[in-house]
Chains A and B, each alone.
Chain A
Amino acid sequence: MGWINIYAASVTDTSQGVLDFSTLYGKQLQWIGFSTVIIVIIIAIDSKFYERFSGVFYIISMLSLVGLFIFGSTVNGATSWYNLGGSSIQPSEFAKGATVLALANYLNEPNRDLSNLKDQLSAFSILLLPAILIILQPDAGSALIYFALIFVLYREGLPAIYLGLGFLAIVLFLLTLYAGFTSSIIIVFSILTLFFVYLLNTKKFQLNREWPKVIMLYVFIGLFLFSVDYVFNNVFEQRHRDRFSIVLGKNVDTKGIGYNTNQSMLTIGSGGLTGKGFLEGDRTQGNFVPEQDTDYIFSTVGEEWGFIGSSAVIIIFIAFILRIIRVAERQKSKFSRVFGYSIATIFFFHFMINVGMVIGLLPTIGIPLPFFSYGGSSLWGFTILLFVFIRLDADRTYEW
């Protein structure tokens, strides 16, 4: 259980990071207090409980997501919150845990085979349902995490071609955005043609037999590129387009849409090697970075603790995630392993997208940094994920 210490360290880090925001600090401490209660409850409950009731959790959280469209309150354009008196709850944070439990439960059936198309479709639909509900809020950023969980399916036997196709799709997507439709189609087709010419020369490949497949491939890629271009220009809203443009370096407007990223980078950069010291960050004090207490919390770390502090945080996160994967790998029950992999994926994805955004490597996607960002729902969501897994891990010897 060595990594509980890591978690404990993370929790103290949270309280320190949030100390900067005196008004929110107390509130966050309350959330932390509640989460300790949750931890106690989770640890107290038998591990079998999670497996058995995963379907119920899944259904409840899906209903809560659906309920948002009726009872939800709208903040920043997304209907993602339930307003409960003084505070609000974001069900999508809890839906992650429920979905992961359901997925683990589904894959735990002994005869599941992810190379089988029927099982693939079922597994995908478990992930797609919450994703679609969240996209409709609309909160596309939070929904992305469900697509990342495909990696877990890969671990559990999904053919690599899906991952490869997904990766290829991302590459082509970015290429189209960066170079434009016409030039990227020329680039891709010439690479493909060179590839086929090479294959022809090695005599391993006979064009007269395989030509329909080749033509299909060309048509498919052409259609994909076209649809990316079409979706980007006609389906995406302007703000989405702008966010991509900033990261791709097409747009350098530091006053308008690029303001967040620019300010956050200035703030981090001003920290220098050793940082300005705790509570000494003038740009943090001046509230220059919008959403600094939630999504841009990492810029505070960068300013006040400098390069040394922020890289330490990154190292802790990486070690934490690696630790989860290692623990997941040693699970004897498939349920626990899938669950472990899933939460590692979730933590990693959140970490990568959030920090990547704050340091200007990825487009602006509003998702929190686990255990750092202000917010009760996300703290509780991550706490539940983590401690359910600890509970599962604690019981692994009795699994047989």
Chain B
Amino acid sequence: MEKKYIAYFSILLVGLIFIARLFYIQVIDTKYKPSPLNNSAVAVKYDYPERGFIYDRNGELIVANQLSYDIMIVPRDVKTLDTLEFCNLLKIEKDDFIRKYKKARIYSPRLPSVFVAQMSKNDYAYLQEKMYKYKGFYIQKRSLRQYSLNSAANVLGYIGEVNNTLLNKNSYYQQGELIGINGVEKEYEEALRGLKGVKFIQRNRFNKEIGPYKDGMYDTLATVGKDVTITLDIKLQKYAEDLMINKRGGIVALEPTTGEILSLVSSPTYDPNLLVGRERSKNYKKLRADEASNPLYDRSLLAQYPPGSPFKIINALIGLQEQVITPQTHFYCYGGFKYGRSSKAFMKCHCGTNGSAVQLDRGIYKSCNSYFANTYKRIIEKYPTSSEGMKTWSDHVKSFGLGDYLHNDLSTGVKGVVPDEKLYNRMYPNFRWGPTTNISNAIGQGEILTTPIQLANITAIVANRGFYFTPHIIKKIDNKPIQMDKFTVPKRTTINPEYFDPVVEGMFHVVENPGGTARWSKVEGIEICGKTGTAENPHGQDHSIFIAFAPKDKPKIAIAVFVENGYWGSRWAGPIATLMIEKYLNGKSTRPWEEKRMHEGSIQDEYDKQLLMKELEKAAE
């Protein structure tokens, strides 16, 4: 009789094992618990909303959308067709056709894949009528960016397929979706893209869709992207880009009273339409490969140059604040400043004052190196040790927003360099350094490096007499003005407002005074304050720099222009800056000859020479 217990026992055992197994796969193991998103029984369909438009500060449409048409293929449904005719329609070779077909087939015979991407509207109109003949092919509409003006590519940025790093980080995006990669497109991606709608569709095992999943319980509607208004004045931007033709460099124009960026030019630039559509990756590679002129590199934000003479303005302000000089303090200049016993320890000066007394005003408009070397020396020597003096000086400089990111809403940026006592203690560990060691800081030539946008910000500070708003590009989202504390709270420098007036006066004379360094750029009817700069450059010709703001009282525009290897400040940068001021304030220029000179002027031969030198050096190595 115990035999029957063997039977009972084994039956119960099997029952227990089965229940335990069910418990494991149904309750414990999460591997078997698909959510609607990764349930293979559910197809997810996205409904992509139209991306928001981008307008400039005057409401002019800069970026819109255009429809593009992808030819899609479902290999399983393809029936025999007149390949030759079809190839002619699509403008592809027969080999191409076979290759693409095989690729789609390998990807999946059942799922649609892109056969020919981004056909033009004309091709579409023609194809549409013929498509019925080709089973297994259909046309899918997509939305692409369209730029009405060939301008501001560096500001607007572009969109492209989302990369893997971001896919892992941000669960919103799916493989193959488009995302803003640069510029405004990147920075305001969330506003522009809107929210895609999701539809869950029940499938059977052949991937046939058999109706909405759970009657559309989880489905969401798409939200259209918001329109964005940026602070750029697209006419001014385009004007500036044209003036910079055949010249490399960066221009930044700000509205001092708000910190809004009026134009942000990097030259050479590229046509934003190049990075749209079928030719995008080909064009991108081409732009990328152009290492010599590097159009993808935003010089207005990323290029760090020695600021040169415009930096004398800051030294003057620090001198006044530290009370080591007054507007009446005068120094004498005999063609330079001797800062050591050696004959080499001599900073040349071309101010041409020849031993006559140079006061602050004249120092600025003549750009006298000796004057600012003396001032700088006094600032550092005011303190018992060079370290303390250096620290005070450095803190003042940093309060102008130099040596740090501006924390703006532009997609890239660099810090620049402001030297401080720590740097010099590291540079000269066994040497008692003093103001004469780094005397070139006096004329913006030493270790200090700034970007054009930082330089423009300094100009805005002077125009505002002591404070600035962080430069920013966003004006309105969805037609609602932006209220962001970081852009609307003024930031003050360590310089008292009253010290600005004599300096502004000096800058006014740079243009106005018959002896000023930028007297050729004088514009009738506009009170422009400026400062020229000529920054030495070990690789070739000096850089041409000019900062300016106008009008002198209640300034509306502050601008910094940087032209690489432009010889001297008043040769290129000065005219460009004043032409832009004229254009912005009056809508047109009274000096067409200057415009013509800028449009026709080229520094390409100098760049070619540098490239040649570089290659020769390489060859020599």
A interface residue numbers (CB < 8 A to B): 151, 154-155, 263, 265-266, 268-273, 282-283, 285-290, 302, 306-307, 310-311, 314-315, 317-318, 321-322, 325, 329, 341, 344, 348, 352, 355-356, 359-361
Contact = CB atoms under 8 A, between A and B. Distances in A.
B213 interface: yes
Contacts of A361: 17-18, 21
A285 B26 contact: no
Contact of B205 (A151, A268, A288, A355): A288
Contact of A287 (B33, B34, B205, B213): B205
B9 to A, nearest CB: 11
Interface stretch (B38-46, B157-165, B344-352): B38-46
Given A155-B3, A272-B26, A361-B21, A286 B202 contact: yes
A151 B7 contact: yes
Contact of A325 (B7, B31, B42, B214): B7
Given A282-B42, A286-B210, A288-B204, A359 B19 contact: no
A359 B23 contact: no
9 contacts: A269-B32, A270-B34, A286-B203, A287-B205, A306-B26, A315-B19, A317-B15, A348-B11, A356-B18
Contact of B27 (A272, A285, A317, A359): A272
A-B pairs, 7 with minimum CB distance: A269-B32, A318-B15, A286-B41, A307-B26, A287-B204, A286-B204, A269-B25
A155 B17 CA distance: 24
Contacts of A321: 11
Given A325-B7, A325-B11, 12 more contacts: A155-B7, A263-B205, A265-B25, A269-B25, A273-B26, A285-B202, A288-B205, A307-B26, A318-B15, A325-B8, A359-B18, A361-B18
> Which of B22, B34, B202, B203 has the most chain A CB atoms inside 10 A of its CB?
B22
B85 interface: no
A154 B3 contact: yes
Given A154-B3, A325-B7, A356-B18, A269 B33 contact: yes
**Secondary structure type dominating chain B contacts:** helix
Contacts of A348: 11, 14
Contacts of A329: 4
A307 B39 contact: no
A151 to B, nearest CB: 7
B33 to A, nearest CB: 6
Contacts of B14: 318, 348, 352
Contacts of B31: 269
A311 B33 contact: no
B4 A325 contact: yes
Interface in B465-510: none
Contacts of A359: 18, 21-22, 25
Contact of A288 (B15, B25, B33, B41): B41
A315 B8 CA distance: 13
A288 B202 CA distance: 11
Count chain A CB atoms within 10 A of each CB in B32, B33, B213 and give the residue with the most: B32
A283 B210 CA distance: 12
B22 A311 contact: yes
Contacts of A268: 22, 25-26, 32
A322 B39 CA distance: 39
A272 B41 CA distance: 16
Contacts of A355: 18
A363 B21 CA distance: 15
Contacts, number: 105
Given A154-B3, A272-B26, A290-B205, A266 B18 contact: no
A266 B32 contact: yes
A282 B202 contact: yes
Contacts of A263: 205
Contacts of B29: 269
A137 to B, nearest CB: 27
A314 B41 contact: no
B84 interface: no
A282 B12 contact: no
Contacts of A285: 41, 202, 204, 210
Nearest to A301: B22
A344 to B, nearest CB: 8
A122 B291 CA distance: 93
A29 B4 CA distance: 36
Nearest to B26: A307
A158 to B, nearest CB: 10
A286 B8 contact: no
B7 A310 contact: no
Contact of A318 (B3, B4, B12, B32): B12
Contacts of B19: 311, 314-315
Contact of B15 (A273, A302, A307, A314): A314
A73 B222 CA distance: 55
A322 B11 contact: yes
B371 to A, nearest CB: 81
A310 B32 contact: no
Contacts of B12: 318, 322
Contacts of B210: 285-286
A266 B31 CA distance: 8
Nearest to A347: B11
Interface in B394-413: none
Nearest to A263: B205
A310 B41 contact: no
B108 to A, nearest CB: 12
Nearest to A280: B214
A286 B40 CA distance: 10
A266 B34 contact: yes
A282 B39 contact: yes
A209 to B, nearest CB: 33
Nearest to B42: A282
B26 to A, nearest CB: 4
Contacts of A155: 3-4, 7
Contacts of B205: 263, 286-290
Contacts of B39: 270, 282-283
B34 A310 contact: no
A315 to B, nearest CB: 7
Given A286-B204, A310-B22, A352-B14, A270 B214 contact: no
Contacts of B41: 282-283, 285-286, 288
Contacts of A286: 41, 202-205, 210
Given A286-B202, A302-B26, A307-B23, A272 B4 contact: no
A285 B210 CA distance: 9
B611 to A, nearest CB: 55
Interface string B187-222: 000000000000000111100001001100000000
Nearest to B32: A269
A343 to B, nearest CB: 13
Contacts of B11: 318, 321-322, 325, 348
Contacts of B33: 269-270, 272
B617 to A, nearest CB: 58
A317 B22 CA distance: 15
Contacts of A311: 19, 22-23
Given A287-B205, A356-B18, A265 B32 contact: yes
A275 to B, nearest CB: 9
Nearest to A290: B205
A14 B182 CA distance: 62
Given A288-B40, A307-B27, A322 B21 contact: no
B3 to A, nearest CB: 5
Contacts of A306: 26
Contacts of B32: 265-266, 268-270
Nearest to B20: A311
B44 to A, nearest CB: 13
A315 B26 contact: no
A283 to B, nearest CB: 5
Contacts of B25: 265, 268-269, 359-360
A285 B41 CA distance: 9
Given A286-B210, A288-B204, A310 B4 contact: no
